Amino acid sequence: MKKLIFIFILALVFSACSDSFLETENKNSLDVGSFFKTENDLLLAVNAAYTPFAHGGMFGNFYLLKINQLDPYIWFENPTSGFDQMIINTSDFQAAWNSLYIGLFRTSDILANIDRMKDIITESKLNEYKGQLTALRGMYYFYLVTWFNAPIYYDETNVPINPLIGLSNGTPEQFWDKLEEDLTFAANNLPDSWSASESGRLTKGTANAALGKALLYKHYQYYLRFGKGGTSEATANIAKAKAAFKRVKDSNVYELIKPLAQTKEDYQAALLSNYSYLDIPVGTKSYKAENNKESVWEIQYNDDNRAAGGWLPGWQWGGALNYAYLSPFGYRNLEIDPTLWYEYETDGAPAGYDRDPRAYATCYLDGDLLDWRVESGKMIPFQSAMHAKGIVFSNKLYLGPVPSPSLGLKKYFYPQFVGKSSPNSDPFNIRVIRYADVLLMYAEACYQVDRDADGSGLAALNEVRSRAGMPAKSVLNPANIVHERSVELSTEGHRYNDIVRWMWDPAFEMDLAKLFNNKFSKDKNYCFPIPQADIDANKGVLKQNPGW
């Protein structure tokens, strides 16, 4: 036995002296030259650049749970502390920061190396891949600059590779300029649509909508905030925002999902199809849900069981975690304040409704069926005592009349999920941008450009109202813009972001003291804190935002 071992060792020694042994590739230490040898390599890399938006730090859980907590119309289960009182710690946005920087690194790293494929695939196909990457990166930049003000900036020319070197703050200008460049390139190189098997990929319409949104936000958070409103640069910026939204409108790719009959069931199906994971039947009719004509871009989720331990949407499993935290059968962490219910208009409501139908598509009331499918076992009525925590009632947060002891969140939680991994890993796709949002942002851009001189902005706003069966408004002004976005996009995670940008325009009359119970500081809460762990990791070169 000892002899055999000795011979084996000698063989290893002599083989170690051969050229072939010395050239053996270490599979655990691949350099960048090992990648992008085929188009499939590039495809897989681009796919990986999408997934950070699906992670728990973004739409897999954080976005609807945390950003909605900051909405004055929504209460967290412990409303006396935390976000409801604007108590935000420097670690609270770590998950979002991590997801966004994973996305920024992946997109920039791939773009830094993608041209090695130019002799393998056609220029137009290469630009299509680049378009997906720049559209994704443009949106990663957007969330970074609007949420964190001056976080770390880099692009494909200076991707950080040495963890021992501390990285410093970028400037807002770097983010705004580069995201415009990225999204403009994407809009010029992406297709209008993809095949059904490629659902979820970014399109020309997605890029234009994201570009318009970014430039609209820049109007407030950069030009108005820094006293540059009315300059030629600011005027050109908001005009470009309007033009980007108009390209989405004129593409004829998107449309609102409208009721196929003037019945209460049809109105609700048309509205709720934008938040359901299943097509919604009404008699012999059916309303397509995910990836329908109103969807400009949505995160794709499924109900796969967890592939490994942990709670990692978009990574270890294919579903989101929103259902587990927010649904009537989950932790029920959030509850709607009744003031939202009374924000919905009563005058002119369609037959069968006492107010705007969107109220019933947003809120669960006692008695509402949680499902339409008998076989699901969830065709039972919503009951405040069972399906909510009574946050508003028990804390005496609202003392006026209420339509129901508790108002549950209905969007993304109807019908009830009863799949194999329920209540975890839910399959509801999150609609990041939908056409109703585009129409309302277009209306807002029209107001900011020239007070809607041609009336097209008012027409767009009234198109959204008409779908809900509500009468047209006669004028486009900040009050109507604020109201329409508040009721159309309620509980979708938009309102806090809207308030923070509108507060820079006096015409929008954001009463911050009333909205946030005197807890909001304009000099501080215009952004979120940079996570302290990253400031430490970057050896103090990265500085915290003022006030934090």
For 154, counting Cβ atoms within 10 Å of its Cβ (0-12 exposed, 13-18 middle, 19+ buried), the class is middle
Instruction: Give dist(CA 547, CA 541) in Å, integer.
Output: 18
Please report which confidence band the pLDDT of residue 13 belongs to, taking 50, 70 and 90 as the band edges: very low
Please report which confidence band the pLDDT of residue 16 belongs to, taking 50, 70 and 90 as the band edges: very low
Q: What is the pTM of this model?
A: 0.93
pLDDT of 15 reads: 33
CA distances from 421 to 44, 229, 332 (A): 26, 51, 18
**At 384, is the secondary structure helix, strand, or coil?**
helix
Within 10 A of 36 (CB to CB), how many other CB atoms are there? 19
- How many residues would you count in the chain? 548
> Domains, the chain, ranges and CATH?
36-190+528-537 (1.25.40.390)
Identity of the amino acid at 397: L
For 132-153, what is each residue's pLDDT tens digit?
A: 999 999 999 999 999 999 999 9
pLDDT of 316 reads: 82
Identity of the amino acid at 67: I
- Mean pLDDT throughout 285-310? 87
pLDDT of 491 reads: 98
Instruction: Give dist(CA 113, CA 127) in Å, integer.
Output: 13
User: Does the CA dihedral 542-543-545-548 come out positive or negative?
Assistant: positive
Instruction: Give dist(CA 65, CA 73) in Å, integer.
Output: 13
| Of the candidate ranges 24-38, 55-69, 101-115, 368-382, the one whose mean pLDDT is the lowest | 24-38
Q: What is the DSSP letter of 23?
A: T
Q: Which of 150, 107, 158 is nearest to 132 (CA)?
A: 107
The percentage of residues in the chain with a pLDDT greater than 70, rounded to a whole number, is 93
pLDDT of 315 reads: 85
**How many CA atoms lie less than 13 Å away from 448 in the CB half-sphere?**
32
For 483-512, what is each residue's pLDDT tens digit?
A: 999 999 999 999 999 999 999 999 999 999
Query: Which phi-psi region, left, alpha or beta, contains residue 431 (left: φ > 0; alpha: ψ -120 to 50)?
Result: beta
For 408-420, what is each residue's pLDDT tens digit?
A: 999 999 999 988 7
- Mean pLDDT throughout 402-407? 97
| Of the candidate ranges 18-27, 81-90, 115-124, 197-206, the one whose mean pLDDT is the lowest | 18-27
Please report which confidence band the pLDDT of residue 309 belongs to, taking 50, 70 and 90 as the band edges: low
Model confidence at 325: pLDDT above 90: yes
Instruction: Give dist(CA 404, CA 423) in Å, integer.
Output: 25
Q: Which of 414, 430, 307 is nearest to 365 (CA)?
A: 414
Please report which confidence band the pLDDT of residue 32 belongs to, taking 50, 70 and 90 as the band edges: low
Query: Which phi-psi region, left, alpha or beta, contains residue 160 (left: φ > 0; alpha: ψ -120 to 50)?
Result: beta
CA distances from 105 to 209, 242, 401, 517 (A): 23, 30, 51, 39
Residues 6+ apart with CB under 8 A from 367: 381, 382
Query: Cα 183 vs. chain centroid, distance in angstroms?
Result: 16
